[in-house]
Structure 1
Amino acid sequence: MKRRQFITHSLLAAGGFCLLPKAYAATSHPEMVILRGGSPAEMLDLGLEALGDLDRFIQPGQKILVKPTLQWNQSPESGLNTNPKLLATLVRRCYEAGSRGVFLVDQTEDKWTQCYKNSGIERAVKDAGAKILPGNKDFLYKSVNIPNAQSMQHPKLHEVLQEVDLIINVPAVQIRPDNQYFGAFRNLEGLIWQESGNQSMAPQQLLDFLHYKKPSLNIMDACRVATPTGLKDYKSLIISTDIVSAESSAAQRLGINPESLPYLALAEQAGLGKTKLAQEQIRSIVLKNTKQ
């Protein structure tokens, strides 16, 4: 039995059900799946199945960088770091798709060893078979040349980028205390060494990184979202091959106007994605009566 069939049958047995559009059974795969109402792990499995599974993106023997949000010495319940159960499930799915190595790394705002441990991420992904790397030392970053860059021609990028074949971007979307939205684009800053510390980069610099290595998949963790007014349970996961569409959709889910994020329009103009996908390229899945 395929995973999609197994999950659907399991949900029905547990008293849950999925609301799927009629097009779900179509042979073509969407470019974005929006899921609501389930646990992070089960939404991930359903979303990947709808996209055609990770076999669509991962070739046997490839090495994968899973880029989480892992910046804060906070518990999994804080919403400030990516959900560890979501990441552990993703790591296992990467190996099932034939990957020969899965890595995770981030630059942290708090002491990195405490962030890795107390977020629950280090233990969860190690148990799933991944290798989690430190990201707070200058010597771990190597200067690279980005020919098409306009603002960041020779950045220092984490050395793991030279080893992996593709990136899966898994940000914990949130609204920071300064009311700044944090999502897929800002999450990639953790792979770039900044001499002055972890400060927000200019929009063009974010685009320049995408010319070097654009994520093959973006998984927006909007399950428990940190905001200046407190934690909000959106219970949502957005999965897309298009980083621009993923960012736009996640921002809207949080009540942020995508037009207020200047890098989105620039990215679309540069051919790096679309702010709006055609309706037939999007699937929506709603889970109800499932245990969290």
Structure 2
Amino acid sequence: MTAGPTALVSLTKLATYEPMAVLQAMRTCLEPFGGMATFVKPGQKVLLKPNLLGPFPADQAVTTHPSIVRAAAILVREAGGRPYIGDSPAVGRLSQVAGVTGMLDVVAETGAPLLELEEPGEFEVPGHGIFPRLVLARTLSQVDVVISLPKLKTHSQMILTGALKNQFGCVPGLLKSEWHFRLQERKWLAALLLDIHRAIRPCLAIMDAVVAMEGPGPSAGHPRPLGVLLAGTDFVAVDAVACHLIGLSPAQVPSCRAAHEQGVGETDLQRLRLVGPDWRTLRVSDFQPPPQPAEVLRLLPLPPALLRGLRRQWTLRPVILPGRCTRCGICEERCPVRPSAIHPRACPSHQLDDRRCIRCYCCHEFCPAHAIVLRSSRTSRWLPLRPVARGVNRLLGWLAALRQDRTH
């Protein structure tokens, strides 16, 4: 992943998913890098890794648009490579998801076969990550080049789904839920994303921000036209630019924050070479972020166990909407807690076990019917968090000052 003053992020305006317009825009976006031929050599097997979260139609902005994948496959073929389209969806099998999202049409048009990322294999993590080895899709070791095609979306747990978060789809099947259970805090999940990136070593990210998702993403948010395509070899830099386009600071996004702390990639726009239209002309001022009412607790200097208890009192909790729920059981199946903390077939008062729920929001993310919403707790409705946090912070500061006075 390229870092430092020469890290390059290319931006290209693109207001439509019309196939020829997308192809031309992608050519323009890759020109500053020397085109697709810089990354793909003749005969190489190339994995195109879009975001295929689940069986959602393309117009819902949950998945990477098929026109983006189509254009990338065409450019790979022009460079002499052999493109494949692969992901491990959170909901449904790849063939099923490909049919609903429009990827099967891309397969038919470009001849790029689907590649399932389900069989597990062990990969070494180079550098100084938190895990020396990871279990990822074995198929990754059978391709020569990995090109990531992320969708710009909000994420109720990780704030942003972008270039880095897209690599989580290389974790096979239900192992994703296991990671959510093992690493319940955002900072550890963010560190895991960096380790996955180190292990996979994708060479290029081309981000679909033509129509992004705002609000309670990554599956229940709302489509929001941004009209831009982004590309870069520094995935952290691509995510950082995406943050600024939607009014976020990279420091608010756990994966970008972890990258900055580890010295991976570049989050400072002043140290990036940005090519294309001025990003400030593409920025939107009213982009709706995901709800994060308990994040302010992170600022309190309290023991982790106490912070976890307080966060539970104010954090958003999953609620099943009876009129939308189809009782498919996917939320129960994908809950990383065992036994599951959510029970869609139970009576409403027993559908969520608050004591077991770890607030990973996998149920909300994976529900194909958008039947799970995130709502404030009674505590947060009666006792607003920010004044409480401010008061506790002042009290702790006063006690620390008092203790220091007594020691002198």
TM-score (norm 1): 0.78
CA distance 1:199–1:35, shift in 2 (3 Å):
farther
In the alignment, is residue 260 of structure 1 matched against residue 252 of structure 2? yes
Q: Distance in 2 between matches of 1:266 and 1:142?
A: 26
Contact 2:208 2:230 in 1 (8 A): yes
In the alignment, is residue 90 of structure 1 matched against residue 75 of structure 2? no
**Structure 1 SS opposite 2:111:** coil
Q: Which amino acid aligns with 1:48?
A: L
Contact 2:159 2:253 in 1 (8 A): no
**Equivalent residue runs for 1:184-203 within 5 Å:** 184-193=163-172, 195=175, 197=177, 202-203=189-190
Q: Distance in 2 between matches of 1:276 and 1:53?
A: 25
Match of 1:248 in 2: 240
Measured after TM superposition, the shift of residue 132 of structure 1 is: 0.9
Q: Distance in 1 between matches of 2:194 and 2:237?
A: 15
Q: Which amino acid aligns with 2:85?
A: L
CA distance 1:242–1:147, shift in 2 (3 Å):
closer
Measured after TM superposition, the shift of residue 177 of structure 1 is: 5.2
In the alignment, is residue 211 of structure 1 matched against residue 198 of structure 2? yes
CA distances 1:238-263 after superposition (whole Å, capped 9, x unpaired): 11111111010112212222111233
Measured after TM superposition, the shift of residue 280 of structure 1 is: 7.5
Measured after TM superposition, the shift of residue 76 of structure 1 is: 1.1
Q: Which amino acid aligns with 1:248?
A: A
Q: Distance in 2 between matches of 1:254 and 1:260?
A: 12
**Structure 2 SS opposite 1:82:** coil
Unmatched segments (≥5 aa) in structure 2: 1-5, 184-188, 216-220, 279-408
Contact 2:260 2:266 in 1 (8 A): yes
**Equivalent residue runs for 1:229-248 within 5 Å:** 230-248=222-240
Measured after TM superposition, the shift of residue 216 of structure 1 is: 0.9
CA distance 1:258–1:159, shift in 2 (3 Å):
same
Q: Distance in 1 between matches of 2:31 and 2:79?
A: 12
**Structure 2 SS opposite 1:108:** coil
Provide the aligned length of Structure 1 versus Structure 2.
254
Match of 1:167 in 2: 146
Match of 1:102 in 2: 83
Q: Which amino acid aligns with 1:34?
A: L
Q: Distance in 1 between matches of 2:114 and 2:28?
A: 26
Compare 155-164 and 88-97 and name the one that shifted more: 155-164
Q: Which has the higher contact order (CA 8 A, sep 6+)?
A: 1
Q: Report which of the two structures shows the higher radius of gyration computed on alpha carbons.
A: 2
Q: Distance in 2 between matches of 1:266 and 1:178?
A: 15
CA distances 1:205-257 after superposition (whole Å, capped 9, x unpaired): 11112222322111111111122262111111111111111010112212222
Compare 195-204 and 45-54 and name the one that shifted more: 195-204
Q: Which amino acid aligns with 1:110?
A: V
Matching residue within 208, 229, 249 for 1:221:
208
Measured after TM superposition, the shift of residue 268 of structure 1 is: 4.0
Q: Which amino acid aligns with 1:197?
A: S
In the alignment, is residue 128 of structure 1 matched against residue 117 of structure 2? no
CA distance 1:163–1:129, shift in 2 (3 Å):
same
Match of 1:26 in 2: none
Q: Distance in 2 between matches of 1:130 and 1:224?
A: 24
> Which structure shows the bigger proportion of residues in helix conformation?
2
- What is the RMSD of the two structures over their aligned residues, measured on CA atoms? 2.5
Match of 1:39 in 2: 16
Instruction: Using the aligned pairs only, state the percent identity.
Output: 22
CA distances 1:91-148 after superposition (whole Å, capped 9, x unpaired): 010011111x21222122322233110100122134212111233x4xx111223253
Match of 1:54 in 2: 36
